[in-house]
Amino acid sequence: MNNVIKKSTLILSKMDKASMTMLERLKEIENFDDIIESEEYIRLQSNNRTLIVLNKEMIYYNNIEEIENSDRFVFLSRHVSQSKKPTLTAHFLGNPSNEAPYGGETMQLAATCPELMKNYMMKLNMQKDVLSEYEISLEAIHHGPTNISKPCLFIEIGSDLEQWKDERVAEIVVRTVISSIDNQIDVNKVGVGLGGPHYSKKFTELLFNTEYAITGYISRHYMNYFNQDILKQMIEKCEQEVKFAIVDKKGIGKEKRRVLELLKDNNLEIIFI
C-alpha cells in the first residue's frame, strides 16, 4: 500500500446528540486548540486532526468541500431505527433509487473508501466483548449527501437517546475511528455489494472473516433500480480498483437474471454469499 496516509476529516453536527457525545470524547483525547467559528460551522484543529461541527443536520449538508480540503470525510452520527435496538453501524452514501427523502440526489452515489470501512468494522468487532449489548452491523446505502467528490463514510451509534448519550461507547467508537484512520491496512479484493436486507449479516461477516472489502451494498429493496449507471458509479467512485461483484445469492429476488447479466457485461468476477 502507498505509505502516504490519507487525510480524513471528521464531520459532526450540533443537531445530533450522538455526534455531540462523540465530540466531547474527542476533545478529551486530543487538544483542539485552533478554533475557527462561522455562521454554519465550527472548525477545530489539533496537531493530528480536523473536526468540522455543523450547525445543521449532516445528511442535508452539501458544502463540505467548500469548508475543508480532505482526502476523506468521516461523519459521526446518531443511528435511528424503529426497533430502537442498540446498534453500531457503518455505511456509504447514496440514493440508489428515484427517491431521496434523506438528503442528496436521486440515482446518485457518493465516493467510497472500502479500506477505511473494513478497517473500522474489523477493529470494532475485535472489541465485541466490551460491546456485548450492541449489535455491530453494516447498513445498505440509503441517504445523502451524495455530491461530495471525495470518499465519505458514515459511522453511527444507535438507536435511541440512551445510546446516543452513552459516553463509554462513544469513546470506544471515536478511538476506533482514529485508529482506523491512522493505521491503514492493505485491501486488494474489492467488490460491489448487491442484495439482502438493509442490515446485512452476510456483508458484515464478509468484512470480519474474509480478505474482501466492499463499495457498500445496495439492498434488495432497490434492486429494480439497479442499472449500468449505478454500477458505473460504484466502480468509478471507489478509492480502490473494483474487480468483484459480491452478491447475496438469495437476496436479489426476481431481478437476479438481469443483474447477473449486467455484472458479467462489466467483466466483474461474481462471488455469491
Report the percentage of the chain scoring pLDDT > 70: 99
Asked whether residue 169 is assigned to any structural domain, the reply reads yes
pLDDT at 99 over 80: yes
Extract the runs of DSSP E, i.e. beta strands, from the chain: 8-13, 34-37, 41-45, 50-54, 72-80, 87-91, 94-95, 108-109, 135-138, 152-159, 189-194, 212-218, 244-247, 269-272
Asked whether residue 20 is assigned to any structural domain, the reply reads yes
pLDDT at 82: 83
207-225 residue pLDDT tens: 999 999 999 999 999 999 9
Q: Tell me the pLDDT band of 94, cut-offs 50, 70 and 90.
A: very high
240 lies in which domain range?
8-272
Asked whether residue 68 is assigned to any structural domain, the reply reads yes
pLDDT at 269: 98
Cell numbers 449489548 correspond to 133
- Tell me the average pLDDT of the chain: 96
CATH of the domain at 139: 3.40.630.50
Kindly state the cell numbers that stand for 1.
Answer: 500500500
Asked whether residue 47 is assigned to any structural domain, the reply reads yes
Average pLDDT, integer, range 10-23: 98
Helix (H, G, I), strand (E, B) or coil at 178: helix
Burial of residue 129, with CB atoms counted within 10 A of its CB: 0-12 exposed, 13-18 middle, 19 or more buried = exposed
Q: Tell me the pLDDT band of 4, cut-offs 50, 70 and 90.
A: confident
Asked whether residue 2 is assigned to any structural domain, the reply reads no
Q: Which residue has the higher pLDDT, 259 or 82?
A: 259
Asked whether residue 175 is assigned to any structural domain, the reply reads yes
Asked whether residue 233 is assigned to any structural domain, the reply reads yes
Q: Tell me the pLDDT band of 137, cut-offs 50, 70 and 90.
A: very high
Report the domain count for the chain: 1
- Do the bridges between strand 72-80 and strand 244-247 make them parallel or antiparallel, or are there none, so unpaired? unpaired
Q: At what angle do helices 256-265 and 228-236 cross, to 10 degrees?
A: 50
Asked whether residue 174 is assigned to any structural domain, the reply reads yes
Q: Which residue has the higher pLDDT, 3 or 5?
A: 5
pLDDT at 1: 47
23-45 residue pLDDT tens: 999 999 999 999 999 999 999 99
pLDDT at 239 over 50: yes
Q: How far is CA 54 from the centre of its chain?
A: 18
Which of 79-88, 152-161, 258-267 shows the lowest mean pLDDT across its residues?
79-88
pLDDT at 3: 59
- The sign of the CA dihedral 58, 190, 105, 49 is positive
